[in-house]
């Protein structure tokens, strides 16, 4: 068999298959972890491999241009999934704010428990992979005279050990820094744990439920769909599923429509804490609406979006992030459209994605927790 040029056929075949794959993986590394030394080294290696394979292909595979073109076209199509693609602008919610009668002593406090290092491109479609974004992991304490509620737990003190239950690809993509867990912060503030009526999970992923073992005995409220997802949700739910003795309490959305969401659950019947189903990221994801006595309104969005631009620009997650992170991407987009309509109608309502530090501005800190007299439970 004759040969044109110095390059053997078999290595070229492998090179032209592997080069776009390496390039795609380098893009994922850069988007997920930002321009760190390891990700930039991976990009450089992939670039060298791609250029080398292309030069070799010109000499050895000229008659099979399609063989070179198809992987390159696939890579180009993958890269387009990170371009901005905002959802259509929804009609603003038509109607007034639902009435609320929060007690005078009700208050909201942010308990930051750590961060993971990501990028704007990871957070929303159209973001830059060179723009670093710290994803905060924050629990929110809502004090109410009929029983306090902790929305999510953030990172627990044993998160480093817990992450061993997660898939290897996930651990490779995730860098985190823990501060102090929500339970540790409450104890430091001499908070009476008996005041805590429940932990309300916006959803049960690792970074929202890691602190549950430190809150043993406190009821954990989740919709029935989320309770099933904890047991049946595959490897991504391995961390939460590994917890034993968690006192899960399933609840139903027994109320009517609320701000464009089809159903609702008013925790204390006074409009101060209202839960609505927002499935997509997980089957039982919820949005927690809060009404404070000073007239402020908050919407705790969980992971419906990861950063504020997800709402303000109606920007969903990039295709791969949604494929890996959302249980039902189409349902996520539907829920996002609903909250975007609320944000359009009520610009004074604070939108609080769980991982965006900007959303927690204006909340109290653990050092300022006020201990008001507790009323009997409803």
Question: pLDDT per residue over 86-124, tens digit each?
Answer: 999 988 899 999 999 999 999 999 999 999 888 999 999
Place of tokens 């450089």: 44
H or E stretch at 145: none
CA distances (Å), origin 287, targets 2, 27, 123, 212: 67, 32, 19, 20
Number of Cβ within 10 Å of residue 229's Cβ equals 25
pLDDT confidence bin for 10, thresholds 50/70/90? low
**pLDDT for the residue 166:** 86
- Contacts of 32 by beta carbon, 8 Å cutoff, 6+ apart: 39, 118, 119, 122, 173
Name all domains of the chain by residue range, CATH numbers in brackets.
9-80 (no CATH), 107-368 (3.60.15.10)
pLDDT confidence bin for 46, thresholds 50/70/90? low
For residue 67, pLDDT over 70 is answered with no
Mean pLDDT, to the nearest integer, of 10-19? 63
pTM: 0.87
Cβ-contact 325, 310 below 8 angstroms: no
Q: Which residue has the higher pLDDT, 189 or 369?
A: 189
- Contacts of 74 by beta carbon, 8 Å cutoff, 6+ apart: 20
Cβ-contact 100, 272 below 8 angstroms: yes
For residue 129, pLDDT over 90 is answered with no
Question: Phi/psi at 170 (nearest 5 deg)?
Answer: -70, -45
**pLDDT for the residue 168:** 86
pLDDT confidence bin for 367, thresholds 50/70/90? confident
For residue 299, pLDDT over 70 is answered with yes
Distance between CA atoms of 234 and 265, rounded to whole angstroms? 28
- Lowest-pLDDT range, 46-60, 157-171, 231-245? 46-60
Cβ-contact 332, 278 below 8 angstroms: no
**Residue 183 half-sphere exposure, CB side, CA atoms within 13 Å?**
16
Per-residue model confidence as pLDDT tens digits over 179-237: 999 999 999 999 999 999 999 999 999 999 999 999 999 999 999 999 999 999 988 89
Mean pLDDT, to the nearest integer, of 334-342? 97
Q: Average per-residue pLDDT in the chain? A: 87
Distance between CA atoms of 284 and 288, rounded to whole angstroms? 13
């Amino acid at each position: 068999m004759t040969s044109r040029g110095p390059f053997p056929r078999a290595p070229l075949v492998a090179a032209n298959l592997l080069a776009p794959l390496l390039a795609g993986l380098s893009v994922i590394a850069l988007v997920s972890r930002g321009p760190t030394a390891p990700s930039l080294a991976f990009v450089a290696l992939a670039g060298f491999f791609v250029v080398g394979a292309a030069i070799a292909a010109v000499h050895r595979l000229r008659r099979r241009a399609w063989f070179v073109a198809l992987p390159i076209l696939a890579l180009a199509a993958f890269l387009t999934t990170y371009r901005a693609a905002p959802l259509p602008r929804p009609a603003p919610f038509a109607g007034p704010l639902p009435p609320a009668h929060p007690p005078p002593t009700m208050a909201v406090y942010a308990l930051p428990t750590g961060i993971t290092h990501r990028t704007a491109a990871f957070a929303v479609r159209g973001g830059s992979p060179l723009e670093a974004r710290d994803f905060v992991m924050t629990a929110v304490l809502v004090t109410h005279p009929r029983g306090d509620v902790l929305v999510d737990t953030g990172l627990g003190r044993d998160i480093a050990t817990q992450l061993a239950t997660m898939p290897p690809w996930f651990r490779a993509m995730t860098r985190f820094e823990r501060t102090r867990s929500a339970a540790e912060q409450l104890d430091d503030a001499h908070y009476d744990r008996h005041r805590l009526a429940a932990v309300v999970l916006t959803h049960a992923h690792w970074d929202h439920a890691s602190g549950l073992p430190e809150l043993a005995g406190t009821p954990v409220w989740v919709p029935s769909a989320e309770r099933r997802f904890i047991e049946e949700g595959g490897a991504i739910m391995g961390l939460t599923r590994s917890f034993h003795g968690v006192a899960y309490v399933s609840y139903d959305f027994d109320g009517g429509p609320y701000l464009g969401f089809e159903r609702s659950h008013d925790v204390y019947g006074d409009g101060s804490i209202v839960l609505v189903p927002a499935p997509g990221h997980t089957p039982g994801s919820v949005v927690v609406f809060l009404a404070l006595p000073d007239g402020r309104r908050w919407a705790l969005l969980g992971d419906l979006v990861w950063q504020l631009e997800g709402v303000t620009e109606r920007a969903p997650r990039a295709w791969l992030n949604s494929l890996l992170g959302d249980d039902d991407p189409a349902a996520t987009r539907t829920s996002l459209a609903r909250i975007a309509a609320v944000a359009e109608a009520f610009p004074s309502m604070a939108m609080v994605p769980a991982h965006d530090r900007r959303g927690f501005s204006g909340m109290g800190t653990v050092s300022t927790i006020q201990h008001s007299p507790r009323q009997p439970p409803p």
